[in-house]
Copies of this chain bind each other. A is one copy, B any other.
Amino acid sequence: MTQKQQDVLASFRERIHKIQSYGEALALMHWDLRTGAPRKGMDVRSESLGVLSGAMFELSVAPELGEWLQTLEEKAAFAELSEIDQRLVLETRKQYDRSIKIPPKLFQEYTVLASQSESKWEEAKRDNDFASFQPYLEKVIGYTNQFIDLWGPGATRYDTLLDEYEPGMTVAELDSIFGGLRAELVPLAEAIAASPHQPDTSFLNGTFDKAAQRDFGLYILGQMGYDFAAGRLDESVHPFATGLNPGDVRITTSYLPNDVTFALFGTIHEGGHALYEQNIAPELTGTTLATGTSMGIHESQSRFWENVIGRSPGFWQRYFGEFQKRFPGQLNVSWEEFYRGNNVVKPSLIRIEADELTYNLHIIIRYELEKLIFNGGVKAADLPELWNSKYKEYLGVVPGNDSEGVLQDVHWSGGAFGYFPSYSLGNMYAAQFTDTMEREIPDMWEQVSRGELLTIKEWLGDRIHRFGKMRTPSELITSVTGKSLDPQYLVSYLKSKYSDIYRL
């Protein structure tokens, strides 16, 4: 490598590092807004967020960065780069090309709009008033369409959006995957609904001490191998995980006094996200590769821990006794009954409250609506009716109002179109990873039933976490499981689990 190339590499790395530093500040500002920032500071905070994210954007689209990329992409120079630097160049190029196509003024307008639109959505949801939100949603769709035009549409316009959250994923592939999934899940859900063996859930009613809920959540995080010296657990309206840096991966949960497992499953879910970010190889620290490789893979980690482990019989065989002790006199059932009571499948209106089976139908509905918006020209005004008719068709339930219908999710208000499929992809990846794990750790479920969760944590760290963005989602699933993504693993997992619970 020539001296000039070496200098360019150093400047390039420094810039990436600088951008990461802005990212850390912004992540902290967002975390703070959601965990207790004073209300009256929000306006100025929003402006500060705008200033810093604008500066971060400028750093990431600066002409010199384009020149450095060109230098490092020259065949001879690229060949001499370390594997990490090669990935970093590829990843940066992708983001650079995406970002450079958006005029800064347009981006800034959009940032302001997205922020206003999120506030409007919050009010509209509270007041059950879609009409007041509709013009904002229409505008957000309009900007997103402009971005698609600027980026250049993929095989379809919606492909361009998908690629942002799940690199390499296409509408063609998702149509096939979701088509297959839907064909299997709808009849399975119907069979479950028709079963005479419905689990008892009455013992889940009551008022459950919040401190005890929190204590048990902290205990389970410890069992999972969450590193408290590299994170913390807080409370927020909606649970989330955020990695400020690999040594600072925070999670939150939300406590419902009348639901004894809501906070716990939220904690386990976010803990799964956090384990991913905490266990990325240290040599990726300070680069854009030190994060999950896609939203779908990220969700696979949270959903694996929440559903595959946290809602498994082995888990409750081991932990129910301790859980029960925290709520004296309140949970007078066996661990088997408790396990079954926490695995009720029932079509419902609200995605985030859905069980792990029908959840996927909620996602398929959103996926189909997003395709209709960007590939089918559907307008914001049409969405409430389309939403309701799809819920009737796939889940057999109809929202009584828009707050529990089309207004329920924040995603669209902030322009996160293409994000929803990640959730179901996560379920599918998780099931496929589990299949491999069960073969590679033959006594895995015995270990779970003894509370030995660290073997699993290590396996995930070794096979998935440490790579960060060094492997694409499809490279990862193939290298770990030997196969590309196949929805049949999820179908088999759900059939097996729920045939047992509902004695189908």
Contacts and interface: CB of A to CB of B under 8 A. Distances in A.
Interface stretch (A14-22, A68-76, A110-118, A349-357): A14-22
A231 B36 CA distance: 9
A25 B52 contact: yes
A292 interface: no
Given A24-B48, A28-B32, A32-B32, A40 B229 contact: yes
A228 B38 contact: yes
Interface stretch (A80-88, A127-135, A243-251, A336-344): A243-251
Contacts of A51: 17-18, 21-22
B229 A39 contact: yes
**Most chain B Cβ neighbours within 10 Å, of A28, A48, A231:** A48
A305 to B, nearest CB: 20
A471 interface: no
A90 interface: no
A278 to B, nearest CB: 9
Given A18-B51, A28-B32, A51-B17, A44 B285 contact: yes
B24 A45 contact: yes
Contact of A28 (B21, B29, B42): B29
Interface in A16-65: 17-18, 20-22, 24-26, 28-29, 32, 36-45, 47-48, 50-52, 55
Contact of A21 (B32, B37, B48, B286): B48
Given A22-B52, A25-B25, A48-B24, A37 B286 contact: no
A10 interface: no
Contact of A232 (B21, B36, B44): B36
Chain copies in the assembled complex:
2
Contacts of A409: none
Nearest to A59: B55
A227 interface: yes
Contacts of A55: 55
A237 to B, nearest CB: 16
Contacts of A285: 44
A230 interface: yes
A115 B48 CA distance: 25
Interface string A238-281: 00000011111110000000000000000000000000000000
Chain A, interface size category, equals 35 or more
A41 B36 CA distance: 21
A214 to B, nearest CB: 15
Contacts of A227: 40
B286 A41 contact: no
A229 B45 CA distance: 14
A42 B247 contact: yes
A18 B44 CA distance: 11
B48 A25 contact: yes
Given A17-B51, A22-B52, A28-B28, A286 B36 contact: no
Contacts of A32: 28, 32
B52 A21 contact: yes
Nearest to A285: B44
B38 A232 contact: yes
B48 A247 contact: no
Contacts of A39: 229-230, 247
A200 B201 CA distance: 61
A248 B24 contact: no
A29 to B, nearest CB: 6
Given A17-B47, A17-B51, A47-B17, A29 B25 contact: yes
A37 B24 CA distance: 13
A183 to B, nearest CB: 45
A84 B403 CA distance: 46
A250 B29 CA distance: 14
Nearest to A50: B21
7 contacts: A18-B51, A20-B48, A21-B48, A25-B48, A25-B52, A38-B229, A44-B248
Interface of A: 17-18, 20-22, 24-26, 28-29, 32, 36-45, 47-48, 50-52, 55, 227-232, 244-250, 285-286
Per CB-CB distance, the 6 closest pairs between chain A and chain B, nearest first, are A41-B248, A40-B247, A21-B51, A41-B247, A44-B245, A21-B48
